[in-house]
Homo-oligomer: A and B are copies of this chain.
Amino acid sequence: MEISCKANEVLELLSGKWKHIILYHIMEHGTLRFSELQRLIPGITKKMLTTHLREFEANQIIKRKVYPSVPPKVEYSLSEYGRELIPIMEKLDDWGRKHAGVQEENKKRNQAR
């Protein structure tokens, strides 16, 4: 087994209610505006979207590009560094799709109590 204990580095980056969904959409579309993200992620508030985007930016996962126009236009895209997260997300996603059924059953059983 080659596991050390650095897994939390990624986990921390992705911990936050909407973080993985945000990354997912940016990975899919390449570049997205603030309002597009908001539309693509039903239920998220501007505040949380802003917060998470700022965190990604601070971690250099995404780039933020502002167009000095009226009305404002801001585009978000993966940084080169952030692109290295893609294989990670794919791996996580593979597992999720493969085991979605099992976890669903668990949830139901937990609700039943």
Contacts and interface: CB of A to CB of B under 8 A. Distances in A.
Interface stretch (A31-39, A43-51, A64-72, A82-90): A82-90
Question: How many copies make up the complex?
Answer: 2
Interface residues of A, number: 44
Main secondary structure of the interface of A (DSSP, over half): helix
B58 A110 contact: yes
Contacts of A88: 91-92, 95
Interface string A89-102: 11111011111101
14 contacts: A3-B24, A3-B90, A5-B20, A6-B97, A7-B14, A8-B96, A9-B99, A9-B103, A10-B95, A11-B11, A11-B15, A81-B99, A85-B95, A88-B91
